[in-house]
């Protein structure tokens, strides 16, 4: 080898080759962090409303956007009044009580709190989970219903539903089944998941899909307090009738917001 390199031409070519190799871009040993398939959108991403997050300083009960009796195609006035004025109000009150001595948490949005519950002190974590979740879930719920609602889905969400579930009837059937299968209390949702796909999910108690990195596009409350006065134990009838008040305009706005926020995150 030494003899080989001693030849002037060979040595010259070897040096040129060495220089050329040294100048090539080196493969980085630093790995780009893998994108977690369940990576959640940024903490500032709102889901309570399409254009703003839900404040915790203090939490406030939003007014119903219609009369309590306006959704009687699916839900009676007394249920709406008790549900909104008492149940939702209680989540708001309990949340404010839990946050009373927590100025740092009060500065966070409800969404940010729920996305990072581990940052909440352990002694109030469960209270925050249940009541911040209850406040967020019901804030979404009132908006995605309307006296003028019902019928077939419209706009971009209609196309996305057909693409994902085949047709609206198939989607509605799967959604109702997921709501019926939720044991005890909880919610059934249509979400946009971290992979950008529509998916039906169910959450227990007052958990919200953002806790799993999903954007809630629409959801139905399957707690008994949402339907018991009119439907008693017939949750399936409530789930079927609920479609008569579904607000496709608002759901389209949420679907669009979900798509835009995912593109940014």
Measured from the CB atom, is 87 or 164 closer to Fe ion? 87
Of all residues in the shown chain, the one whose CB is closest to Fe ion is: 221
CB of 210 to Fe ion, least distance (A): 17
Residues from 51 through 110 that contact Fe ion (CB under 5 A): none
Check binding of 187 to Fe ion (CB under 5 A).
no
CB of 225 to Fe ion, least distance (A): 5
CB of 265 to Fe ion, least distance (A): 29
Check binding of 255 to Fe ion (CB under 5 A).
no
3 class by beta-carbon count within 10 Å (0-12 exposed, 13-18 middle, 19+ buried): exposed
- The residue written with tokens 């893998």 in the block is 34
Check binding of 207 to Fe ion (CB under 5 A).
no
Residue 51 DSSP symbol: S
Residue partners of 202: CB distance under 8 A and separation at least 6: 178, 179, 181, 182, 186, 187, 188, 189
Options 142, 171, 223, 243; binder of Fe ion; rule CB under 5 A? 223
CB of 45 to Fe ion, least distance (A): 24
For the chain, where are the alpha helices, taking DSSP H only? 2-6, 8-23, 77-81, 89-98, 103-106, 110-115, 122-143, 155-165, 168-181, 228-231, 235-242, 248-264
Check binding of 221 to Fe ion (CB under 5 A).
yes
Q: For Fe ion, which stretch binds (CB under 5 A), given 36-44, 105-113, 182-190, 222-230?
A: 222-230
What are the backbone dihedrals phi and psi of residue 202, each rounded to the nearest 5 degrees, phi first?
-125, 140
**Spatial CA neighbour of 187 closest among 219, 164, 148:** 219
Check binding of 248 to Fe ion (CB under 5 A).
no
CB of 91 to Fe ion, least distance (A): 9
Footprint on this chain of Fe ion (rule: CB under 5 A): 221, 223, 226
């Amino acid at each position: 080898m030494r003899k080989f390199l001693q030849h002037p031409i060979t040595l010259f070519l070897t040096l040129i080759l060495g220089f050329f190799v040294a100048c090539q871009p080196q493969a980085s040993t630093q790995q780009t962090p893998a994108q977690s398939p369940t990576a959640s959108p940024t903490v500032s991403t709102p889901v309570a409303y399409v254009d703003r997050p839900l404040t915790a300083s203090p939490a406030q009960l939003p007014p119903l956007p219609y009369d309590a009796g306006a959704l009687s195609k699916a839900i009676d006035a007394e249920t709406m009044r008790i549900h909104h004025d008492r149940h939702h109000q209680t989540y708001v009150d309990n949340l404010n009580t839990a946050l009373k001595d927590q100025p740092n948490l009060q500065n966070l949005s409800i969404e940010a709190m729920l996305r990072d519950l581990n940052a909440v002190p352990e002694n109030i974590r469960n209270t925050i989970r249940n009541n911040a979740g209850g406040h967020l879930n019901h804030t979404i719920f009132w908006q995605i219903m309307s006296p003028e609602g019902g019928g077939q889905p419209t706009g971009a969400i209609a196309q996305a539903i057909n693409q994902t579930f085949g047709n609206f009837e198939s989607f509605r059937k799967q959604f109702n089944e997921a709501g019926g299968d939720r044991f005890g209390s909880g919610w059934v949702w249509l979400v946009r998941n971290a992979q950008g796909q529509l998916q039906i999910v169910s959450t227990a108690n007052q958990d919200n899909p953002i806790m799993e990195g999903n954007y809630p596009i629409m959801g139905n409350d399957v707690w008994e307090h949402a339907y018991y006065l009119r439907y008693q134990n017939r949750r399936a009838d409530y789930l079927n009738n609920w479609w008569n008040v579904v607000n496709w305009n608002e759901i389209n706005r949420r679907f669009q917001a979900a798509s835009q926020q995912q593109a940014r995150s």
